[in-house]
Structure 1
Amino acid sequence: MNATTSSPGPESPADTVNRIRGEFADITRRLSHASDELTALHGVLLTQTAAPAQPVHTPPIPPQPTPTQAPQLHPLQPPTATFPPPLFTPNYRVPQYAPAPPRVQPLPPPPRPLPVPPRASTAEKMTAASEGGLIGKILAGIGVAITLIGVVLLLVLAAQAGLLRPELRVAGGALLAATLFGIGVRLGHNVQKRSGAVALVATGVAAALFDVLAATAIYHWLPDYAALLVAAVLAGGGLVVAHVWDSQALGLMVGIPLVVLAPFLAGGDDEILVAFLLTYVAVTLWIQLGRNWTAMFITNTAVGTLPVLYGLVAWSSDDQWFFVIAASLNVVLAIVSVLVLMRSSTRPVILALTSSATVFPMFGAVHITGGPLASTLLGVTAAILLALAVAGRPLGVPVPVRVVWLATSSVTALVACASILEGAGLAVAVAGIAVVTACAAAVGKVSGTGGDLNLTVAVIATIATGISLAGTLLSGAVAQLLFADALPTGDQALMLITEVLTLAAIVVLAWSWAQGAGGEQLQAIWTVGTVAALWQVTLLCVGLGALIGGGSDAGIRGGHAAATIVWVLTGAAGLLWARRQRGSARTVTLSVSLSIIGAAVAKLFLFDLATLDGVFRVIAFIVVGLLLLSLGVAYAQSLNSDDDRSVTPR
């Protein structure tokens, strides 16, 4: 059987074109389908990142026919969907991923409320205080006080009542002191028993000092120098225990009873009492080395200062040299103590303030020593404190301590001036201090060193200048404005010197405060300075006129006329200066300048017109009128010039 197989004939060009066109169309369709699948996959991924999403089912792509031969198409017939098989599997599905469950952080448990501790009862508090040693310390302190009072009674009241012989009293006090000291040192070897041992040692040392003081002041068995030597050995040697045990309480238990009870043993001999206590202060200084014992330093300062302060009331002019020596030694001991102890102290400012308190007895020295000696004593003290404040940096003196000493020096200098001067002379001295401190503040501003120290100098200069301004009022300067014979000729000359110095202090001080200031603060400084300087210029003009006129009315009138003219000139200068300023600074300067000119015009009509006569009235009105006229013309032209310059040409 013969089978006949027909083979396809060759493609015509039209068939080839149609076949290629169909293939391109199929490729385009498949690419479009792939793009749709990628878009769907992108949406699924976005949905999974935002929230748990439902799985997306993509419908399968229907299979495409795979004919063995493309149909014959007309050249103008569009291609059909029957083309060769696809280049990749059409049943591709987008892989589905199950979203991961969100990780929920467990909430922390709520915080448990802190248990409120129950309030301790009084019995529990007393038990805790007993276990902490507080009750023992209180009882020991009370025991020290009562025992030492008993020793004083033994040495004083027993002698007055004649109960025991003097030898027995002194020997009994010495035996009691030695016994207490020995037992205290013995017990102090045990640290747990040291609190009680401190009280025993302190009582023994204080009792021994009282015994020596009684033997010297009451019974006169020991010369003064021998008593001081023995007291130095007992105090310095006995308080070695305080240094070794690092016990400030031991020093306090000796110093406080000493300053309270020692006057009862002096028997009215204040000189031996002061010398005795100053010796104690001096020999116990080394015990505080390397210790931060502020309380003991304050106590020792009181031990040396209170008897000297009491001497202001009890002593007379016969004791002036002893007072000078005692007060000077007290101040020197305090200052030296600060220089030695401030390296180990955490409160150097308190030490400096305490040492400054030793100057107080000198403030009343004029009642015992007289003016010249008191002024010299205070002046030397002020110079020493000033030198330490200015040159204390190489000695390691911190700035706060230097500030305290500088302030103390300025106050001491003022009191020194007041001790020897009064009236116009005192005003000159105060004005001189104001000028010196103002210049120091200006130098500090220029150098830019010192910080708080320069600020303190500026504050002191301001206070001194204010006192000087008030001094001109109290010294008759206001009366000099109205009456020709208000001050004698000598006082008028001193007043002129005061006014010149005060004016210089105001100018320098205003410049010093103005450095570094700005804005409204700067304007306020210059405003206050200008008003104060204008007041001093007025006093200066009137005082100079009175001095030149020999205290006549004509001289005062001439001074007032000159003062009015100076007021107008000052206001005019301020108005011209305001042209160079802008904003609030210009407003303030204009307001102040116009106020000064207004005050000058008011003075011209209310005072000068009624008080001045003759040529002075004519001069005042003409000069003031010409000044205001010239100022008005010049100021108007300057404003027009400014307006012209501010217009921008087109």
Structure 2
Amino acid sequence: MWVTLSSMTTEDVLLRLAGEIDDLGRRLAVVGSELRTVRADQPQQAEQPKPAEQPQQPPQPQPWSLPPQQQMPPPWPPHPWQPPRQYYVPPQAPYQPVPRQTLGEKLGKEGAGSRVLAWVGGAVTLLGVVLLLVLAVQRGWLGPLPRVLVGAAFGLALTGAGVWLHRKPAGRTGAFALAWTGIATLYLDAVAATSLYDFLPVLAGLAVGLAVAAGGLLVAVRWESPLLASVVVVGCVVCAPMITRGFTPELVAFLLMVQLATAPVQLRRDWSSLTLAAGVPPLLASVISSAVAHDGRQNTVAALGAGVIGIALALIVLRRRENDPAALAVLATSVVPALVAALLLPKAQAVPVAAGAGVVLLAVWATRRWWPGIAGQLAGLAGLLAILQATVTQFDGPARAAVLLGEALLLAVAAVGGRNKFALAAALGFATIGGLIGVFFDVTPALLMVYRIRPAADVAGALAVALLLLAVSVALPWAAVRLAVFRGPADDLPIWLVAGVSALYGAAGVVLCGSLLAVPGRTGFLLGHALITVSWTIAALVLLLRGIDVVALRVIGLVLVGAAVLKLVLFDLATLDGLARVGAFLGAGLVLLAAGTRYARLVASR
């Protein structure tokens, strides 16, 4: 009986442990709840007092009875397995974008009507001032000088009333409208005193406008109103061309002074609208002034000044506010006035202007670690655009394509050295432009397919372009692989095929132009084509031998073999004659035989 009870207890314990392990495997998420359930099922067993220990009596041996059984603890009742509890998880509501307020909802807000009335009232009041001045002029009520004085007094009164009304929170909406109306009145009064009545010279009128703008900015800063600050600057920008009587270098200089006057506010306040309102007008005025072309030298100086000040202020703002959209826009467009001015200048002056702007922006790109965000990359892009314009302006003929390809080669090397993917993208852009120019004007398909007597200088220029095209076609994929932009030929086959076609075109140009320079005349043309066919088959052999383990190289090698055979049948057979035709066929055939034999042996040995 002891053996049976003992075995039953062990079996019960094992069964319970097996159940617990199986339960834990299914319900790890609710293990705490299961432990509480187990503890709740055994409260009475834990509270039962232990029986008093009896003094041990020496056993009395009896031949007819079994030894007394030792008292065993009650068996651990098995805990039946329970299915995991299901917890209610409320379904997630689908994401719904915050609906934009309609115009009716905005107007329906509390206080919106007062704002609309205030701003409309300001606009109507300003129009009334203009009508009053017109009526006074028509009926002769006031002379020119009293009109100007009355306008100035009225503008100051409106502005002062706005400042006085702003002291109370309830009147601040009307204060903004009054201040804006007063400042606009002062601007119009300065225009009238300068352009209409000639009481003030142009410089004095601009000084008055700058003083009004400075005062308006002070009020805007005190009121913490970016809208008022932007309106003040925009009003000054609109009235300034009326004072200067058009877009002139003097206007650009004045707008630059306004931009510099707003610099402290831009540094103290994060007002992107003010940055845009003060930064774009000088650049736009410089472009228009250069297009009108009053004075080429003054416009060039104004364009360079606008570009330098725009770049400097944009970078200062970007140091405080990373990737500020307004500052980035000013930085990206700061080079436009210089490029437009360079287009209208003679070649001797245009190249230094464009190149100088490009060097400044590339210097910003070189020190990009000092500028957070994408400011350095954006400056580099603008600088490369300026360098591109300077290169295209300075060089012509084969030198243009050769220089562009050389710059692409340098950028590819710099990209690998500096681990900079942006430089690699710039190299691709320069290579594309240089390659297209070279194919259309220098190493043309007609040069490769049709024999014609050409000057040695043109052939030498085509040779240089073809050599650089070959070098760039090899350098760009190599740099892309080093920077992990592209993978090997097995993964990015189309890209490598494009690079291979470009390299073959450049290599064909190198071989043919070299043959024409070495052996002038038709003989050199025929010899060059025979060498091109043989070189293609040799390149195919190399690719096949290197492509034993690389599928892409094998595919490219076989495609090149097909291209060589097609060239033999379609071009060499019809164009070449004599020893050139024989040499092309014999050379290509022998190379293909050697390639086939060697390739078969390598495949069999694997």
User: Into which bin does the TM-score normalised by the smaller protein fall?
Assistant: 0.7 to 0.9
Once residues 497 and 401 of structure 2 are traced to their aligned partners in structure 1, the CA distance between those partners, rounded to angstroms, is 25
Asked if the contact 1:375/1:416 (under 8 Å) is kept, the reply is yes
Match of 2:473 in 1: 506
- CA shift at 1:145, angstroms? 5.5
Q: Match for residue 268 of structure 1? A: 246
Q: 1:83 to 1:498 in 2, by over 3 A?
A: closer
| Residue of structure 1 equivalent to 2:574 | 610
The aligned residue for residue 388 of structure 2 is 414
Classify 1:628/1:364 alpha carbon distance in 2 versus 1 (closer, same or farther; 3 Å).
same
Which of these residues, 319, 325, 329, is aligned with residue 343 of structure 1? Answer: 319
Counterpart CA distance in 1 for 2:199 and 2:379 is 43
CA offset at residue 415 of structure 1? 2.2
Q: Secondary structure at the match of 1:398?
A: coil
Instruction: Give the whole-Å Cα distance in 1 for the aligned partners of 2:468 and 2:342.
Output: 27
Q: Distance in 2 between matches of 1:129 and 1:323?
A: 50
Deviation sequence 1:3-41 (CA, Å, 0-9, x none): xxxxxxxxxxxxxxxxxxxxxxxxxxxxxx334455667
TM-score, with length taken from structure 2: 0.78
SS of equivalent to 1:347: coil
Match of 1:387 in 2: 363
1:541 and 2:477 matched = no
Please point out which of 257, 264, 269 is paired with 1:286: 264
Q: Equivalent residue of 2:269, what SS?
A: coil
- Matched-pair contact (CA < 8 Å) for 2:530–2:580: yes
Could you tell me how far 1:491 is from its partner in structure 2?
Answer: 4.3
Conservation of the 8 A alpha-carbon contact between 1:236 and 1:283: yes
Deviations 1:611-635 (A, max 9, x none): 1233332332232223223323333
Match of 2:379 in 1: 405
1:592 to partner: Cα distance? 0.3
Distance 1:403 1:111, change over 3 A: closer
Distance 1:223 1:594, change over 3 A: same
Listed one character per residue, the Cα deviations across residues 69-111 of structure 1 (whole Å, up to 9, x for unaligned) are: x9xxxxxxxxxxx976787699x99989999999999999998
Q: Is the Cα–Cα contact under 8 Å of residues 418 and 426 in structure 1 kept in the other structure?
A: yes
Equivalence for 2:562:
598
- 8 A contact 2:402–2:465 mirrored in 1: yes
The equivalent position to 2:402 in structure 1, one of 428, 435, 447, is: 428
**Contact 1:442–1:511 (CA<8 Å) still a contact in 2?**
no
1:179, CA displacement in angstroms?
A: 1.9
Q: In the alignment, is residue 187 of structure 1 matched against residue 152 of structure 2? A: no
Task: State which of 413, 416, 439 in structure 2 corresponds to 1:473.
Answer: 439
Which AA in structure 2 matches 1:129? K
Using the alignment, how far apart are the partners of 1:197 and 1:554 within structure 2?
A: 90
Q: CA deviation at 1:386?
A: 0.3
Change (3 A) 1:236 1:565: farther
Per the TM alignment, residue 588 of structure 1 is displaced from its structure 2 partner at its CA by: 1.0
How does 1:301-450 map onto structure 2 within 5 Å? 301-313=279-291, 315-316=292-293, 318-348=294-324, 351-366=327-342, 368-393=344-369, 396-445=370-419
Q: Does 1:236 align with 2:214?
A: yes
Contact 2:191 2:239 in 1 (8 A): no
Q: CA deviation at 1:463?
A: 1.6
Query: Do the aligned partners of 2:319 and 2:372 also contact (CA within 8 Å) in 1?
Result: no
Measure, in 2, the Cα distance between the counterparts of 1:44 and 1:575. Answer: 73
Alignment of 1:295 onto 2:288 = no
Question: Residue by residue, what CA displacement relative to the aligned partner does 1:402-425 show, whole Å, maximum 9, x if unpaired?
Answer: 111111111222222334444534
Q: Report the AA paired with residue 409 of structure 2.
A: V
Query: Are residues 227 and 439 of structure 1, via their aligned partners in 2, closer, same or farther at CA, if it must alter by over 3 Å?
Result: farther
In 2 relative to 1, CA 137–441 (structure 1 residues): closer, same or farther, beyond 3 Å? farther
The code of the aligned residue for 2:146 comes to: L
Q: Secondary structure at the residue paired with 1:297?
A: helix
Written as runs of structure 1 = structure 2, the 5 A alignment for 1:457-472 is 457-472=423-438
Closer, same or farther in 2 for the Cα pair 1:366/1:103, shift >3 Å? closer
Secondary structure of 2:320's aligned partner: coil
**Structure 1 range deviating more: 375-384 or 409-418:** 409-418
Distance (whole Å) between structure 1 residues aligned to residue 568 and residue 423 of structure 2? 40
Q: How high is the sequence identity, in percent, across the aligned residues? A: 29
Give the letter for the 1:386 counterpart: L
- The superposition leaves residues 134-178 of structure 1 with CA deviations (integer Å, 9 ceiling, x where unpaired) of 444455555555666667778899879988643234323322332
Q: 1:253 to 1:505 in 2, by over 3 A?
A: same
Q: Matched residues in 1 for 2:441 and 2:181: separation?
A: 58
The answer to whether 1:246 aligns with 2:246 is no
2:335 aligns to what SS in structure 1? helix
Larger CA deviation: 404-413 vs 257-266: 257-266
Identify if the C-alpha distance between structure 1 residues 512 and 34 changes in structure 2 by more than 3 Å, giving closer, same or farther.
same
State the shift of 1:340 in Å: 1.4
Distance 1:505 1:231, change over 3 A: farther
* Separation of aligned partners in 1, 2:525 and 2:463: 14
**Alpha-carbon distance in 2 for matches of 1:410, 1:173:** 51
1:639 alignment partner AA: V
- After TM superposition, give the deviation of residue 378 of structure 1 in Å: 1.5
CA drift at 1:600: 1.4
* Conserved? CA contact 1:203–1:253, under 8 Å: no
**1:601-640 residue pairs with structure 2 within 5 A?**
601-640=565-604
Provide the rounded CA distance (Å) in 2 between the counterparts of 1:611 and 1:530.
Answer: 25
Distance 2:403 2:525 in 1: 26
One-letter amino acid matched to 1:372 = A
Q: Which one-letter code corresponds to 2:324 in the other structure?
A: P
Q: Is the CA contact (8 Å cut-off) linking 1:327 and 1:362 kept in structure 2?
A: yes
Q: Is the 8 A contact 1:145 1:257 kept in 2?
A: no
One-letter code of the match for 1:543? C
Change (3 A) 1:423 1:219: farther
Alignment partner, residue 497 of structure 1: 464
Deviations 1:481-501 (A, max 9, x none): 234458665444433333333
Which structure: larger Rg? 1
Q: 1:177 and 1:628, CA in 2 relative to 1: closer, same or farther beyond 3 A?
A: same
Taking a change above 3 Å as real, the CA distance of residues 229 and 576 of structure 1, as seen in their structure-2 partners, is same
Give the secondary structure class of the aligned counterpart of 1:511: helix
Structure 1 residue 280: Cα displacement: 1.4
Structure 2, gaps ≥5 residues long: 20-37, 42-60, 94-98
Q: Residues 371-411 of structure 1, C-alpha deviation per residue, up to 9 Å, x if partnerless?
A: 33233221111110000101242xx3125111111111112
- Counterpart amino acid of 2:110? S
CA distance in 2, matches of 1:154, 1:496: 77
The alpha-carbon deviation at position 458 of structure 1 amounts to 0.8
| Matched positions, count | 558
**1:613 alignment partner, SS class:** coil
Check the 8 A contact 2:206/2:243 in 1, yes or no.
no
- Per-residue CA distance 1:168-213 (angstroms, 9 max, x = gap): 3432332233223222222333345444433433443444344334
C-alpha separation in 2, matches of 1:159 and 1:370: 49
User: What are the Cα deviations for residues 331-371 of structure 1, in whole angstroms up to 9, with x where unaligned?
Assistant: 11221111211133253365223321232344433553233
Shift of 1:245: 3.0
> In 1, Cα distance between the equivalents of 2:422 and 2:109?
46
Q: Could you tell me which amino acid in structure 1 is paired with residue 391 of structure 2?
A: C
User: Aligned equivalents of 1:175 and 1:227: distance in 2?
Assistant: 17
Shift of 1:266: 4.1
- Local SS of the residue matching 1:189: coil
